[in-house]
């Protein structure tokens, strides 16, 4: 046994709960979704808040909507 860290403090943060960044509810560290506001949650940060995991679906939808808008503008104004 080389690990002599106090039991229960194996994480770097030392937190035992994390806070939802949306509704400020205290949640267990292993929770990956807030039960009150359905926000997806990642690991706890150094302030005790849960981080938001990278949202690929939202990112892709944002890109597609931008591309769609550009194509729409091109189609409407620059097509000839
Ligand atoms: Zn929440």
Query: How far away, in angstroms, is 50 Cα from ligand 1 center?
Result: 10
- Rg over CA atoms, the chain: 21
Q: What is the pLDDT of residue 55?
A: 77
Q: What is the pLDDT of residue 54?
A: 81
**DSSP symbols for 36-68:** TT--B---B-TTSBBPPPP-HHHHHHHHHHHHH
Query: How far away, in angstroms, is 33 Cα from ligand 1 center?
Result: 8
Give the separation between CA 30 and CA 37, rounded to whole angstroms: 17
Is the CB of residue 50 less than 8 Å from the CB of residue 44? yes
Is the CB of residue 25 less than 8 Å from the CB of residue 17? no
Tell me: the pLDDT tens digits for 34-74? 999 999 999 999 999 999 988 788 899 999 999 999 999 99
Q: What is the pLDDT of residue 12?
A: 56
Query: How far away, in angstroms, is 32 Cα from ligand 1 center?
Result: 11
Q: What is the pLDDT of residue 47?
A: 94
């Amino acid at each position: 046994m080389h690990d002599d860290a106090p039991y229960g403090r194996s994480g770097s943060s030392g937190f035992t709960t994390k806070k939802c960044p949306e509704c400020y509810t205290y949640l267990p560290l292993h929770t990956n979704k807030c039960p009150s506001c359905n926000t997806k949650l990642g690991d706890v940060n150094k302030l005790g808040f849960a981080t938001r995991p990278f949202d690929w679906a939202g990112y892709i939808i944002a890109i597609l909507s931008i591309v769609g808008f550009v194509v729409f503008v091109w189609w409407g104004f620059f097509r000839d």
